[in-house]
A and B are shown apart, each in its own frame.
Chain A
Amino acid sequence: MDLKNIPHTLPRFSATFDPHTLAEIRRAAATGIYDIRGGGTKRKLPHFDDLLFLGASVSRYPLEGYREKCATDVWLGTRFAKKPIHLKIPVTIAGMSFGALSGQAKEALGRGASLAGTSTTTGDGGMTSEERGQSQTLVYQYLPSRYGMNPDDLRKADAIEVVIGQGAKPGGGGMLLGQKISDRVAQMRNLPMGIDQRSACRHPDWTGPDDLEIKIEELREITDWEKPIYVKVGATRPYYDVALAVKSGADVVVLDGMQGGTAATQDVFIEHVGIPILAAIRPAVQALQDLGMHRKVQLIVSGGIRNGADVAKALALGADAVAIGTAALVALGDNDPALEAEYQALGSTAGAYDDWQEGRDPAGITTQDPVLAARLDPVAAGRRLANYLAVLTLEAQTIARACGKSHLHNLEPEDLVALTMEAAAMARVPLAGTDWVPGNPQGF
């Protein structure tokens, strides 16, 4: 045999031990610490892209594109609050902490949301004057850490959101690494400067739904029953969590899927805990319907909302509104290719930069460095966010009109089909071209 001419097999990468996995093993071996990063799940998951709208046909007729009205407003907190919130659009800005974000970024979110007629939400770390000053409707988060929590800010808020979990890390607490604990952040959180701040994963003064009910009552008593009270949960067991939130007296439930962004969490947590928002909405809506509370207790969903189609699909599955985090940051200027050279210098690339915990964000958004933060012009960035919110709304209206709906809330599961069996099972809509919905619709 001619040994020289034996064909070689091509080098082949393992699908199991792919280059990313190998790099992570080497990184872990070198450092002894898990990978911490910002952002949401990066692997592909069943998502809204796996659903399609049917649009009008012979059996249903559409609304005229630019003439016939398709309303977009939403009321939140109509169950118990004396002063429920009325938003022009069903897209809210999710809670993102000052500390994770710069003061300028918080201000820009407030400006953009106010222009668009929607709300912003504080975060772990308390309320800043920048955000309260610019945000017409501000939701104040009540988190396990209670950093910066105080009754004056509580009374200044338009709504209160009791955070039990987030989609990126259901069951996990917060973390803000020393690099981002500036003087101001340390002072607001009552911590020494420069330490790695751990925030608790459980509330310090209540456990379980019976206590939560009493806690919500306390918050209502303190604020004289004026403000809507939201309860935010990460998507894990949505049927039961939503039912218990309703039982505990919530006005609004916020349900955050595993794609939801975070400021800083272990990668293993982001990628492996929780369920995609697509799988969580129907059980949540079912819980509301079983309790006779659908549309009475409003449902806000989040986790990977990017465009008006996502908004329309979430609403069609039964949500009252959506919340956006990551997309809002991108609209402000996060991961902008114009900053490519600087992302390269940080060992990343525009579109993939997620080391938000380090506080070196060249876009000036996820940082506490005053020089970097000053790069973000809150007025211009707020304008970009308002434009983006307008596009989300117009896109959702376009789809709704095509389905013959005069309000985004009239979209319904019957307007949808699924491209994959997974999506059909999760969203409980038929596989496209069939009348087959996998699974037992009753069996959560």
Chain B
Amino acid sequence: MPVVNLAETAKRELNAQLHALSVDTNETHWRVENPQGQHALAAGLNVPVTVEIAGHAGYYCAGMNSQATVVIEGNAGVGVAENMMSGKVHVKGDASQSAGATAHGGLLVIDGDASARCGISMKGIDIVVKGSIGPMSAFMAQSGTLVVLGDAGDALGDSIYEARLFVRGEVKSLGADCVEKEMRAEHRDLLHKLLEAAGADAGVDEFRRYGSARGLYNFHVDNASAY
């Protein structure tokens, strides 16, 4: 197993090595020591390898990830797994703002809490947060699923499109055009699968579902006060 010690090796070197891997590489399990909160660690991966980061990561860890599994054994800074396409990112600590922002696919699991704007403009990713999330989460969320085992802050799902939100705890307030929706069998099914994939210990029936009222999809003057 390759071990890269960032106290000795530059981050550029680490990322260059990871980018140089071919899809059928034998070096499928990497360990990164002394990450020291550096930014853009393991960003832009494009092969099915696993990278364990032994500590805290800075901004945009695993940004634009495709195929790879990135495990952060600490906290993650702003925009962890931003614009992820596929693969898996697992934050064992807490995540800062904009976790999973604009991501198209893959699974992001956060064992702790996530700050404001979790899942902002998400475009297909699945996000499971075992703790709570901050305000303005899932702002303009387009598609994908956000599951929160704890509470959600103010203005959840403001201006949301077709993303699905499941929250177990309290929602401080819902944003414009976001409403509570009925939990049907298909939603229970989806939620169950995601909880299982994330190794989260919670019952499907403890959650409520939120989504778009679709009232702002086409502009109408009588809705102007909603903006």
Contact = CB atoms under 8 A, between A and B. Distances in A.
Interface in B207-223: 217-219, 221
Contacts of A435: none
Interface string A207-218: 000010011011
A17 B197 CA distance: 65
A146 B217 contact: no
Interface string B93-115: 00001100110100000000000
Contacts of A189: 142
A221 to B, nearest CB: 4
A442 interface: no
Contacts of A145: 121
Interface stretch (A53-61, A197-205, A403-411): A197-205
B181 interface: no
A222 B63 CA distance: 8
A150 B59 CA distance: 18
Interface string A110-148: 000000000000000000000000000000000001100
Interface stretch (B27-35, B37-45, B148-156, B182-190): B37-45
Contacts of B74: none
Interface residues of B, number: 43
B219 to A, nearest CB: 5
B46 A151 contact: yes
A224 B218 CA distance: 41
Give chain B's interface secondary structure class.
loop
A206 B78 contact: yes
A151 B40 contact: no
Given A192-B161, A205-B97, A151 B221 contact: no
Contact of A205 (B16, B102, B221): B102
A408 B44 CA distance: 39
Contact of A146 (B12, B40, B83, B221): B83
Interface string B134-158: 0000011011000000000000000
Nearest to B159: A198
B15 A221 contact: yes
Contacts of A191: 142, 161-162
Contacts of B64: 150-151, 154, 222
A214 B60 contact: yes
B64 to A, nearest CB: 4
A225 interface: yes
Contacts of A217: 39-40
A221 B59 CA distance: 12
B117 interface: yes
B48 interface: no
B124 A205 contact: no
A224 B19 contact: yes
Main secondary structure of the interface of A (DSSP, over half): loop
Contact of A192 (B79, B83, B159, B162): B162
Nearest to B221: A32
A438 interface: no
A200 B64 CA distance: 20
A205 B15 contact: no
A215 B59 CA distance: 8
B218 A205 contact: no
Given A192-B161, A204-B120, A215-B60, A221 B40 contact: yes
A146 B44 contact: no
Contacts of B218: 178, 194-196
Given A195-B217, A205-B79, A149 B43 contact: no
A33 interface: yes
Interface string B166-209: 00000000000000000000000000000000000000000000
Interface in A141-177: 145-146, 149-152, 154
Nearest to A220: B40
A190 interface: yes
Given A191-B142, A195-B217, A221 B44 contact: yes
B66 interface: yes
B162 A151 contact: no
B140 to A, nearest CB: 6
A376 to B, nearest CB: 28
A192 B83 CA distance: 20
A149 B139 CA distance: 18
From B12, B44, B85, B143, name the one whose CB has the most chain A CB atoms within 10 angstroms. B44
Contacts of A31: 221
Given A145-B121, A218-B39, A190 B98 contact: no
B85 A150 contact: yes
B59 A204 contact: no
B63 A190 contact: no
A153 to B, nearest CB: 11
B60 A205 contact: yes
Contacts of A182: none
Contacts of A222: 40, 43-44, 63-64
Nearest to B217: A195
Nearest to A222: B44
Contacts of A72: none
A358 B218 CA distance: 14
A205 B98 contact: yes
Contacts of B83: 146, 149-151
Contacts of B60: 205, 214-215, 218
A205 B85 CA distance: 16
B101 A204 contact: yes
6 contacts: A32-B221, A149-B102, A151-B66, A204-B82, A218-B59, A222-B44
Given A32-B221, A198-B140, A205-B79, 7 more contacts: A33-B219, A200-B140, A204-B102, A211-B78, A217-B40, A218-B60, A224-B16
Interface of A: 31-33, 145-146, 149-152, 154, 178, 189-192, 194-196, 198, 200, 204-206, 211, 214-215, 217-218, 221-225
The 5 closest A-B pairs by CB, nearest first: A222-B44, A32-B221, A205-B79, A205-B98, A146-B102
